[in-house]
């Protein structure tokens, strides 16, 4: 699969897919989308990059080991669920707040952080599996 | 979004609106803590020196939370917490009664004991591949299964514990491990898939998966659909999980392939999750099914006890042998379900408590024996008495406890079950319980005599003496022997706990009222 065309296009495609996955993640609260599907799109972006340019550039570009990303996601998701202890509500209860940043009103919620956690878990897990399989193929 | 057409919504119809105190969080803490801990350990997976102390600290916190929960449930009756504040029956809830709290407490205790043993056993590679991550995730799964009040959520926790147990079994990647893991994985996936299909059927029929709501619907008799067919599937799936005869083949084929600490954890917890699910569904949720299946369960119990005892007698590999002891214990527990009244159920729950503790001890004992002797085979073992009198003493205790002999904890629940069986004129079962005890005594006596008493069988040169048993191997085994002895000498607290757990299962009205106050 290492054709010149594919290798030239793949980094751009990967970047686009990652941006799109983040868009899907943030859109997910009120419309179709969310952490799981966003994470899958991001993982497939990594897979595309890996098929085109090999596994080690992907590992370098990820900075962290995929399992670390997944672990961070699980940690964030659980913490987001536990945040409601301070609001005297049950585990995983969504809490909302708005923040004014540079004149823009941004809605923040614990569910968003939970979704980010899911995104990272899915991204980490599937990248881990995908990269391991691609490595096997290269040998 | 136009501002017109905004309607005022009464949130209290759908969500919990009253404030929860920090104490209410005890319901979720035993599951949230190991989840957090597992994630944190994966983040620091290269700093292996921190893994064991961190996970032991987390398990201590879990144990504290479980004990707090147990005290609360004991005094106040069932408590629950709605996830995301969505009211049951639509939201998923954790609902804890005495049974769940007792089992969860023992889970944390056994986790702690086996983790101490694991520190002596596992090597750097296993640390780096996340042994304790899998370990904590499995504890989270088991505790979640014990605490949840929702059938689908029960399935989810089954998956969590199953997948982490695959990890624990396969860690190390020896061919024999992969072989055992494969058998374990396929057969358990069959059971879990059957369970998932049943969950779908139940939802299709009843329109709810909340246990309390299902209990109401089952009692009002308006399910009107083939309750029997999904009952068969459900019972089949859980019996397979519990390794009851004839669905027990996976257990002796897989448990011995991994580290003793992991096998001990599996033996203590995984089959008991199956038994717990049976108790929960057949007694609390669908009592009608429980009554219909009682004769079948009694037959299953009898044959499991016979199969377990015979398997125990026939095996010569001490770690496989212990697998058969687990199966024969499951048979004894199922007797209580088969007889199905308050006394028998409390006997079954008491035996389950005893069995969780002692089976872990037996696996740890077998692990320590085979490590000392350098072999798993009974024929080659010998002379351990000279080398570790302390292990001999603990081993004697654990063997007596497993066989159900005084002064250890196995005696009392068996006595309760025999009494219950006599009062129901189930003489065959009485006979089989007693014969099972006799055969277990003989088989474990053989293991004890071969391993400890007779002279060493293998030629050992002066240069390679027996290794010294380290503290982290002997302390867990001794702890379990002491706990079992204490339970045998002063049985009143845990027998009272199992009586209350059985009463809580039979008294569905209290459970339903606690979860769904409006009925």
Q: Do A89 and B16 touch (CB under 8 A)?
A: yes
Indicate the SS3 state at residue B79.
strand
Percent of chain A past pLDDT 90, that is, above it, reads 45
Q: Is B77 left (phi over 0), alpha (psi -120 to 50) or beta?
A: left
Q: How far apart are CA B185 and CA B387, in angstroms?
A: 38
Q: How many CA atoms lie within 13 A of A79 on its CB side?
A: 13
- Contact status, residue B435 vs residue B309, Cβ threshold 8 Å: yes
Q: Do B32 and A81 touch (CB under 8 A)?
A: yes
B27–chain A nearest CA distance, Å: 10
The pTM assigned to this predicted structure is 0.92
pLDDT in tens, A36-57: 999 999 999 999 999 888 888 8
**pLDDT value, residue B464:** 54
Q: How far apart are CA A123 and CA A44, in angstroms?
A: 9
A132–chain B nearest CA distance, Å: 15
Q: How far is CA B514 from the centre of its chain?
A: 25
By the CB < 8 Å criterion, does B1 face chain A?
Answer: no
By the CB < 8 Å criterion, does A81 face chain B?
Answer: yes
Residues in contact with B11: Cβ distance below 8 Å, sequence separation at least 6, in sequence order? B17
pLDDT in tens, B191-218: 999 999 999 999 988 888 999 988 888 8
The pair phi, psi for residue B406, each rounded to 5°, is -70, 160
**pLDDT value, residue B463:** 45
Query: Chain B 187-206, CB below 8 Å of chain A: which residues?
Result: none
Q: How confident is the model at residue A91 (pLDDT cuts 50, 70, 90)?
A: confident
Q: Which residues of B touch A89 (CB under 8 A)?
A: 16, 19-20, 85
Q: Do A91 and B84 touch (CB under 8 A)?
A: yes
The residue segments making up the domain with residue A28 are: 4-138
Among B20, B39, B45, select the one facing A75 at the smallest CB separation.
B39
What mean pLDDT, rounded, does chain B reach? 88
Give the CA distances from residue B62 to residues B143, B370, B455, in Å, rounded to whole numbers and listed in that order: 10, 31, 44
Instruction: Please provide the DSSP assignment of B314-325 as one string.
Output: H--BHHHHHHHH
- Contact status, residue B244 vs residue B300, Cβ threshold 8 Å: yes
Among B41, B42, B84, select the one facing A90 at the smallest CB separation.
B84
By the CB < 8 Å criterion, does B288 face chain A?
Answer: no
Q: How far apart are CA B446 and CA B309, in angstroms?
A: 13
**pLDDT value, residue B415:** 92
Q: How far apart are CA B313 and CA B440, in angstroms?
A: 8
**pLDDT value, residue A139:** 54
**pLDDT value, residue A42:** 95
By the CB < 8 Å criterion, does A95 face chain B?
Answer: no
Q: Which residues of B touch A67 (CB under 8 A)?
A: 42, 45, 130
Question: Among A69, A86, A74, which Cα is nearest to A123's?
Answer: A69
**pLDDT value, residue B5:** 59
Domain count, chain A: 1
By the CB < 8 Å criterion, does B82 face chain A?
Answer: yes
Q: Do A78 and B32 touch (CB under 8 A)?
A: yes
Among B25, B41, B42, select the one facing A85 at the smallest CB separation.
B25
pLDDT truncated to tens, each residue of chain B (519 aa)?
444 556 777 777 778 777 777 778 888 999 999 999 999 999 988 888 898 999 999 999 999 999 999 999 999 889 988 888 888 888 899 999 999 999 999 999 999 999 999 998 888 888 888 899 999 999 999 999 999 999 999 999 999 999 999 999 888 778 888 888 998 999 899 999 999 999 999 998 888 899 998 888 888 877 766 778 888 899 999 999 999 888 888 888 888 888 899 999 999 999 999 999 999 999 988 888 888 889 999 999 999 999 999 999 998 888 888 999 999 999 999 999 998 888 999 999 999 999 999 999 999 999 998 888 888 888 888 778 888 888 889 999 999 999 888 889 989 999 999 999 999 888 999 999 999 999 999 999 999 888 888 877 766 554 455 677 788 888 999 999 999 999 999 999 999 999 999 999 998 888 988 888 765
- Contact status, residue A72 vs residue A116, Cβ threshold 8 Å: no
The pair phi, psi for residue B6, each rounded to 5°, is -80, 120
The pair phi, psi for residue B341, each rounded to 5°, is -130, 175
Interface confidence (ipTM) of the complex: 0.89
By the CB < 8 Å criterion, does A129 face chain B?
Answer: no
**pLDDT value, residue A30:** 81
**pLDDT value, residue B465:** 59
**pLDDT value, residue B401:** 92
**pLDDT value, residue B1:** 42
- Where are the domains positioned within chain B? 26-459+468-515
Q: Do B39 and A72 touch (CB under 8 A)?
A: yes
Q: How far apart are CA B263 and CA B274, in angstroms?
A: 17
- Contact status, residue A43 vs residue A123, Cβ threshold 8 Å: yes
A127–chain B nearest CA distance, Å: 16
Percent of chain B past pLDDT 70, that is, above it, reads 96
Q: Do A91 and B25 touch (CB under 8 A)?
A: yes
């Amino acid at each position: 699969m290492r054709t010149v065309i594919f290798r030239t296009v793949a980094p751009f495609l990967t970047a686009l897919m990652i941006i799109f996955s983040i868009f899907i993640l943030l859109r997910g609260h009120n419309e179709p989308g969310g952490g799981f599907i966003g994470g899958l799109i991001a993982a497939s972006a990594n897979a595309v990059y890996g098929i085109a340019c090999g596994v080690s550039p992907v590992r370098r570009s990820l900075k962290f080991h995929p399992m670390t990303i997944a672990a961070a996601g699980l940690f964030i998701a659980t913490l987001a669920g536990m945040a409601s202890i301070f609001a005297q509500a049950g585990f995983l209860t969504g809490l909302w707040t708005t923040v004014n940043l540079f004149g823009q009103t941004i809605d923040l919620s614990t569910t968003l952080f939970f979704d980010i956690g899911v995104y990272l878990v899915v991204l980490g897990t599937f990248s881990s599996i995908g990269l391991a399989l691609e490595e096997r193929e290269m040998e | 979004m136009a501002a017109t057409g905004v309607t005022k919504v009464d949130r209290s119809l759908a969500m919990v609106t009253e404030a929860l105190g920090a104490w209410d969080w005890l319901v979720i803490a035993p599951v949230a803590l190991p989840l957090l801990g597992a994630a944190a350990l994966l983040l620091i997976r290269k700093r292996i020196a921190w893994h064991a102390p961190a996970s032991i600290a987390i398990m201590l916190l879990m144990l504290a939370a479980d004990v707090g929960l147990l005290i609360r449930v004991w005094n106040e009756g069932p408590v629950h917490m709605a996830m995301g504040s969505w009211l049951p029956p639509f939201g998923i809830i954790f609902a804890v009664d005495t049974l769940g709290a007792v089992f969860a407490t023992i889970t944390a205790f056994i986790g702690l004991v086996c983790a101490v043993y694991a520190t002596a056993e596992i090597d750097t590679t296993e640390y780096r591949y996340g042994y304790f991550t899998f370990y904590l995730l499995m504890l989270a799964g088991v505790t979640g299964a014990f605490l949840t009040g929702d059938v689908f959520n029960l399935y989810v926790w089954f998956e969590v514990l199953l997948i982490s147990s695959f990890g624990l079994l396969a860690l190390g990647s020896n061919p024999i491990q992969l072989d055992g893991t494969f058998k374990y994985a396929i057969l358990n996936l069959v059971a879990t898939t059957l369970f998932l299909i049943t969950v779908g059927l139940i939802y299709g029929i009843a329109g709810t998966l909340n246990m309390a709501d299902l209990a109401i619907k089952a009692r009002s008799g308006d399910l009107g659909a083939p309750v029997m067919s999904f009952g068969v599937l459900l019972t089949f799936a859980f019996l397979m999980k519990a390794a009851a005869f004839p669905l027990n083949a996976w257990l002796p084929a897989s448990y011995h392939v991994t580290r003793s600490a992991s096998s001990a954890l599996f033996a203590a917890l995984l089959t008991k999750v199956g038994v717990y699910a049976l108790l929960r569904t057949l007694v609390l949720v669908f009592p009608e099914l429980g009554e219909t299946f009682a004769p079948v369960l009694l037959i299953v119990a009898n044959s499991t006890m016979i199969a377990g005892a015979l398997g125990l007698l026939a095996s010569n590999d001490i770690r496989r042998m212990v697998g058969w002891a687990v199966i024969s214990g499951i048979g004894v527990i199922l007797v209580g379900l088969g007889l199905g009244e308050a006394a028998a159920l409390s006997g079954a729950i008491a035996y389950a408590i005893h069995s969780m503790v002692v089976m872990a001890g037996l696996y740890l004992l077998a692990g320590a024996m085979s490590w000392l002797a350098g072999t798993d085979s009974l024929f080659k073992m010998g002379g351990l008495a000279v080398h570790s009198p302390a292990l001999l003493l603990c081993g004697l205790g654990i063997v007596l406890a497993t066989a159900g002999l005084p002064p250890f904890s196995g005696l009392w629940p068996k006595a309760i079950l025999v009494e219950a069986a006599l009062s129901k004129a189930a003489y065959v079962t009485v006979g089989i319980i007693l014969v099972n005890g006799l055969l277990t005594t003989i088989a474990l006596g053989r293991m004890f005599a071969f391993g400890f008493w007779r002279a060493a069988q293998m030629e050992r040169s002066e240069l390679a003496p027996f290794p010294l048993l380290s503290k982290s191997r002997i302390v867990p085994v001794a702890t379990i022997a002491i706990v079992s002895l204490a339970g045998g000498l002063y049985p009143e607290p845990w027998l009272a706990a199992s009586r209350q757990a059985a009463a809580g299962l039979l008294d569905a009205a209290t459970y339903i009222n606690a979860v769904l106050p409006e009925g």
